[in-house]
Amino acid sequence: MRQKIYCYFDESGQDISSREFIAVAVMLSSAERSAYQLRLQGIEKEAATYGLKWHKTKLDRALQYLDLILEQNIATGQIYVGYFKKPTPYFFPIVDTIEAAIKEFTQ
């Protein structure tokens, strides 16, 4: 039986000065997606981040947002992280992380 899943992905470390490339995938079923969206929107409102790009968010607001995410155990067990030493071509770590996340999530 097929199930629809959502994969939200982000990475950090493409800049020249970084020594590592970090890839993160968050996996959600279609049933979980709406509930998480509402919870995250509530946290954004409480932390006053207003959906800004992360680098444009003031540090105190960003830290409050992260604190609230951790306090509420958002997506516990559904976050997959890959750490890669540089130099590395970015495409392969991205594919590896997403592949591992999908395989583990669907088991």
Give the up-direction half-sphere exposure of residue 38: CA atoms within 13 A in the CB hemisphere.
Answer: 4
Question: Going by C-beta distance under 8 Å and a sequence separation of 6 or more, which residues neighbour residue 8?
Answer: 25, 26, 28
**pLDDT(77) > 80:** no
Question: Going by C-beta distance under 8 Å and a sequence separation of 6 or more, which residues neighbour residue 80?
Answer: 24, 25, 26, 27, 97, 100, 101, 104, 105
State the average pLDDT over residues 49-77.
Answer: 89
Mean pLDDT for the chain overall: 91
pTM given for the model:
0.79
pLDDT digits (tens, 9 = 90+) for 14-56: 888 989 999 999 999 988 899 999 999 999 999 999 888 888 8
